[in-house]
Structure 1
């Protein structure tokens, strides 16, 4: 076997000219860096959202944020919601009513009724009281044994639903004010309904 000789100087110059004009049929073998393509631009970056910050609100002309509570927020009772409503009747009469000093002229007891039974009874009672010219009536719902379960069947459902019925059609135009009754008339298990003239 004859020994292979290297390229002459002329051959190397000629080869370099040819190599500059040629394009490779196959790219050179990939390096370790080129083996895995960079997919970082294709992968969605995980973004951790910032915690919710309520917008500031004005209190007495200054900007203040509410203080966070360490306890879970409890929904207000129907009586608390009604107490926060504006007074739409004579203030002196309202104060006497809230103190239990006014005697209701008629009463409706909805104890033991379902929501489906109670609503038509309430509508009929309010219309009849208005027709008779009464101003202050008492609607007794009972306090319920607790507020667990779905609304149509849970104990205390009437206590939650009656203020809503009194504030919506067809009763809203007849009712001037709804308030939780004084303890002598049933407390949170009953409502004063003050009718319009």
Structure 2
């Protein structure tokens, strides 16, 4: 029997569910089988977790080119439902690390599926501006995201307003 391992999204979801469970008396939460066997060389793993890709890292150390804003006609079409939103991801209640992993994975899958526009729900935060609401636009300017994100804009009120973003993904192959 081939053993399957959880994807990064599954691990995040499982950890969120597991935190709500109370272990039986004398038992602890089993972690076995959640991590896949190490197949990536250590050097490659370090490159994947470069400082710009790690949540909370100082992204101002290098000047980052932010993705462009969406043009007004496109934003209006998204808000009125005349342009299809190809997917949604809700980052409410996640840590920055969980949200970063899930967002990057979600955007890569949407890009591979040739989706053009997606909705990223960050939430507004409990007091003032939320951590994820502030962090996600910074992440979109980092190299792992820049390769697939063409632009973003605050969503319309009925899609989450200030607590959500419309994200335009680049076309595959770089063509128009």
1:195 alignment counterpart: 169
2:89 alignment counterpart: 108
Which secondary structure does the structure 1 equivalent of 2:146 belong to? Answer: coil
Which secondary structure does the structure 2 equivalent of 1:139 belong to? Answer: strand
1:166 positional shift: 1.1
Structure-2 separation of matches of 1:181 and 1:146: 20
Higher relative contact order (CA 8 A, sep 6+): 2
1:143 alignment counterpart: 124
Q: TM-score, normalised by structure 2?
A: 0.54
**Structure of greater Rg:** 1
1:169 positional shift: 1.4
Change (3 A) 1:139 1:89: closer
Residue pair 1:100, 1:181 contacting (<8 A) in 2 also: no
Change (3 A) 1:118 1:102: same
Alignment of 1:5-16 (within 5 A): none
1:161 alignment counterpart: 135
**Could you give the per-residue CA deviations for residues 106-157 of structure 1, whole angstroms, max 9, x where no partner exists?**
000001101011101111001000000000000001101113xxxxxxx710
1:92 positional shift: 3.4
Structure-2 separation of matches of 1:94 and 1:142: 19
Unaligned 5+ runs, structure 1: 1-84, 148-154
Structure-2 separation of matches of 1:96 and 1:178: 14
Residue pair 2:67, 2:141 contacting (<8 A) in 1 also: no
Which secondary structure does the structure 1 equivalent of 2:151 belong to? Answer: strand
Given the alignment of the two structures, is residue 174 of structure 1 paired with residue 155 of structure 2, yes or no?
Answer: no
Which secondary structure does the structure 2 equivalent of 1:159 belong to? Answer: helix
Structure-2 separation of matches of 1:128 and 1:185: 21
1:95 positional shift: 4.0
Q: How many residue pairs were aligned?
A: 106
Change (3 A) 1:89 1:141: closer
Residue pair 1:142, 1:189 contacting (<8 A) in 2 also: yes
Which secondary structure does the structure 2 equivalent of 1:113 belong to? Answer: coil
1:117 alignment counterpart: 98
- RMSD, aligned CA: 2.4
Which secondary structure does the structure 2 equivalent of 1:105 belong to? Answer: coil
Higher percent of residues as helix: 2
**Could you give the per-residue CA deviations for residues 67-90 of structure 1, whole angstroms, max 9, x where no partner exists?**
xxxxxxxxxxxxxxxxxx895666
